[in-house]
Amino acid sequence: MDQLLKNFFLFLSKSRGLNRMAKRYGLALGARRVVAGETIEEAIAKVKELNGQGLVCTLDHLGEFVFSEEEANESADYCIRTLDAIYESGVNSNLSLKMTQLGLDISKDLCMKNMRRILETAKKHGNFVRIDMEDYAHCQVSIDIYKELRKEFDNVGLVIQAYLYRSEQDIQDLNGWNANLRLVKGAYKEPAEVAFPEKKDVDENFKKLIKMHLNNGNYTAVATHDDNIIQFTKDLAEKENIPRNLFEFQMLYGIRTQSQLELVKEGYKMRVYVPYGTDWYGYFMRRLAERPANVAFVLKGMFKK
């Protein structure tokens, strides 16, 4: 049943018609629980609040479908505005982005041009930009772009997904670039030809990748809500004397907030991924797909105004 619901929400996440409707309707149906607001002002206020609790953040201006150069450039402008707002407000946050928003599906050159603009701004402000990893179709090109950008910038990081068979090889390869990586399980629906179909295999691979990247001496962001993986990372660091400034934990805004605060209390660096913007629909559907039990809070959201 869970698998059925998961596929259903992933299917819904791709609906352009529903995306348009959602934009018109505004943050609703429980989305406010996992999206920090529609404007940059609301998002910065939330980040300030989280910083006050000892959490650091990464802001993500949500966007899903980009069809023209104009839209891609506009999306990059939003990223730049977000970096400016972080700098001006003095909050502790970096930026996460998706390269399809910056025109990756239109042309690699357009995406590179926008990435350079964004990274220049981040560099000027002494900030860091993380490239989220999207579906498998974008994996190789994302790694290629990352390497090209690393020749010019050191304030950029990437994400590697534990559900992909190729990721072990990618981690080995990216070691040569001292890549600052966020490691995740993977959020998209991928076929068994490219991704482990069983959760237990994804979890095992996740642990293997964390160990590899940390033992190679590279900065690692362990992004998960899974207690088992978090405990594995803590034990590994303890056992192998890995300094706490070589890794951080990351979780999504509004998910397992108590655990986030506990990690801070224990002295770990804990970064919250804070999405904001009017284009919240696809993000929200992917979060529902991860945990269909969350449908309960969507239903509550519909009745609680």
**Least distance in angstroms from the C-beta of 108 to ligand FDA:** 19
Residue 122 or 270 with smaller CB distance to ligand FDA: 270
Smallest distance, ligand FDA to C-beta of residue 35, A:
12
- Phi and psi at 243, nearest 5°, equal -65, 145
The span from the CA of 117 to the CA of 115, in Å, is: 5
Q: What angle (nearest 5°) sits at the alpha carbon of residue 104, between those of residues 100 and 107?
A: 155
Q: Which is nearer to ligand FDA, 6 or 108 (CB)?
A: 6
Output 44 or 270, the one with its CB closest to ligand FDA. 270
User: How far is residue 129's CA from residue 83's CA, in Å, rounded to a whole number?
Assistant: 9
Q: Is 154 a catalytic residue?
A: no
- Count CB atoms within 10 A of the CB of residue 172: 12
Nearer CB in complex with ligand FDA: 161/218: 161
* Shortest distance, position 239 Cβ to ligand FDA, whole Å: 22
Judge whether 225 and 252 are in contact, CB under 8 Å.
yes
Q: How far is the CB of 272 from ligand FDA (least distance, A)?
A: 8
* Residues near ligand FDA, by CB under 6 A: 132-133, 159, 161, 184-188, 223-226, 250-252, 255-256, 273, 287, 290-291, 294
Asked whether 286 and 187 are in contact (CB, 8 A), the reply is yes
What CA–CA distance (Å, rounded) separates 27 from 281? 9
Q: Tokens 């000892």 correspond to what residue?
A: 54
User: Sign of the CA dihedral 204, 132, 269, 167?
Assistant: positive
Task: Answer yes or no: are the C-beta atoms of 159 and 184 closer than 8 Å.
Answer: yes
Closest distance between ligand FDA and the C-beta of residue 241, in Å? 25
37/32 Cα distance (integer angstroms): 7
Identify the active-site residue in 182, 271, 279, 287: 182
- Taking the least distance from each CB to ligand FDA, the nearer of 68 and 228 is 228
| Token reading at 13 | 């996440």
Shortest Å distance, C-beta 24 to ligand FDA:
25
Write down the catalytic residue from 60, 105, 130, 132.
132
Per DSSP, 130 falls in state: E
Nearer to ligand FDA, 12 or 69 (CB): 12
Task: Give residues with Cβ within 8 angstroms of 102, minimum separation 6.
Answer: 66, 72, 75, 76, 79, 110, 111, 114, 115, 118
C-alpha–C-alpha distance, residues 96 and 155, integer Å: 12
Active site amino acids: 132, 182
